[in-house]
Amino acid sequence: MEKIKHPLFQKHYARLVTEAIIKSIIGGVLIGFCANFVAAAVAWFFEFGGIWLAIGVGLVAGIAGGVLLYFLKYRPDVHEVARRVDRLGLQERVVTMLEYQQDDSYIATLQRENAETKLKSVEHRKLRFRLPTALIVLAAVALVLGSGMTTVVGLAESEVIPSGSDLVNPEDPLAQYIAVTYEAGEGGEIEGETDQLLLPGEGTTPVVAVAEDGWMFIGWDDGNEDPERSESDVQLPITYTAIFQEVTEGGEEGEDGQQGGQDQGEGDKAEDLPEGSESNVENGDNGNGDKGSGSNSDNGESEGKGEGEEEGEGKGDGQGLGAGGKWQDSNQFIDGNTYYRDHLEMYYEMAQQIFSENGEIPPEMREFFETYFGGI
Amino acid sequence: MVTEQNIQKFSTQCKNIFEQIGRDVIGQKEVVEGAVIAMIAGGNVLLEGVPGVGKTRLVRSLGRVFDLPFSRIQFTPDLMPADVTGTNIIVKDENGNSNFQFQPGPIFSNIILADEINRATPKTQSALLEAMQEHTVTVMGVSRKLEEPFFVLATQNPVEQDGTYPLPEAQMDRFMFKIIVKNPSLDELMDIVNMTQKTMAEVADAACNGADLLEMRATANQIPVAEEVLRYAMMLCSATHPDSECASEAAKKYVRLGASPRAGQALISAAKVKALMDGRFNVSYDDVNALAYPVLRHRMKLTFEAIAERVSADEIVKMIIDELMHKNKLIDEPAEAPAAEQEKKHKFGRK
A302-323 tens-digit pLDDT? 343 434 344 434 443 434 344 4
Mean pLDDT, chain B, integer: 84
Q: A175 falls in which pLDDT band (50, 70, 90)? A: low
Same domain, B50 and B131: yes
Higher pLDDT, B42 or A340: B42
Residue A264 has pLDDT above 50, yes or no: no
Residue A258: domain span: 251-375
Q: A215 falls in which pLDDT band (50, 70, 90)? A: confident
Of B192, B215, B238, the position where a domain reaches its end is B215
Same domain, A238 and A349: no
Same domain, A20 and A164: yes
Interchain contact, A92 vs B341, CB within 8 Å: no
**Is residue B83 situated within a structural domain?**
no
Residue B304: domain span: 223-343
Same domain, A36 and A138: yes
Q: Kindly report, residue by residue over A48-103, the tens digit of the pLDDT.
A: 777 888 889 899 999 999 999 988 888 888 888 888 888 888 888 888 888 888 88
Of A226, A246, A266, the position where a domain reaches its end is A246
Of A110, A140, A168, the position where a domain reaches its end is A168
pLDDT of residue A173: 63
B203 CB-side CA count, 13 A: 11
Whether this model's pTM surpasses 0.95: no
Start-to-end CA span in chain A (Å): 95
Residue A229 φ/ψ, nearest 5 degrees: -150, 155
Across the range B241-269, mean pLDDT stands at: 89
Please tell me the distance in Å from B338's CA to the nearest CA on chain A. 6
Of A231, A246, A261, the position where a domain reaches its end is A246
Interchain contact, A103 vs B280, CB within 8 Å: no
Q: Kindly report, residue by residue over A176-212, the tens digit of the pLDDT.
A: 788 899 999 888 889 888 898 888 888 889 999 888 8
pLDDT of residue A142: 92
Residue B266 has pLDDT above 70, yes or no: yes
Q: B272 falls in which pLDDT band (50, 70, 90)? A: very high
Q: A329 falls in which pLDDT band (50, 70, 90)? A: very low
Interchain contact, B229 vs A95, CB within 8 Å: yes
Start-to-end CA span in chain B (Å): 39
Which residues are bridge partners to B179 per DSSP?
Answer: B47
Please tell me the distance in Å from A102's CA to the nearest CA on chain B. 12
Same domain, A36 and A125: yes
Please tell me the distance from the alpha carbon of residue A316 to that of residue A28, in angstroms, as a whole number.
Answer: 92
Please tell me the distance from the alpha carbon of residue B329 to that of residue B335, in angstroms, as a whole number.
Answer: 16
Same domain, A18 and A153: yes
User: Which residues 21-40 of A are in CB contact (within 8 Å) with B?
Assistant: none
Across the range B296-321, mean pLDDT stands at: 89
Same domain, B207 and B246: no
Interchain contact, A96 vs B4, CB within 8 Å: no
**Is residue A294 situated within a structural domain?**
yes
Of B150, B184, B215, the position where a domain reaches its end is B215
3-state secondary structure of A3: coil
Same domain, A164 and A216: no
Task: Spell out which chain B residues touch chain A, with contact meaning CB-CB distance below 8 angstroms.
Answer: 1-4, 7, 222-229, 280-287, 330-334, 336-338, 341
Contacts of residue A8, Cβ cutoff 8 Å, sequence gap at least 6: A116, A119, A120
Q: Kindly report, residue by residue over B139-161, the tens digit of the pLDDT.
A: 888 888 888 888 888 888 887 77
Please tell me the distance from the alpha carbon of residue A94 to that of residue A119, in angstroms, as a whole number.
Answer: 8
Same domain, A162 and A186: no
Same domain, B148 and B292: no
Same domain, B192 and B262: no
Interchain contact, B224 vs A99, CB within 8 Å: yes
Q: What is the number of domains present in chain B?
A: 2
Q: A334 falls in which pLDDT band (50, 70, 90)? A: low
pLDDT of residue B117: 86
Q: A324 falls in which pLDDT band (50, 70, 90)? A: very low
Please tell me the distance from the alpha carbon of residue A41 to that of residue A46, in angstroms, as a whole number.
Answer: 8
Across the range B74-100, mean pLDDT stands at: 87
Of B215, B231, B266, the position where a domain reaches its end is B215
pLDDT of residue B222: 87
**Is residue A257 situated within a structural domain?**
yes
Residue A274 has pLDDT above 80, yes or no: no
Helix axes B4-24, A106-120, angle to 10 degrees: 80
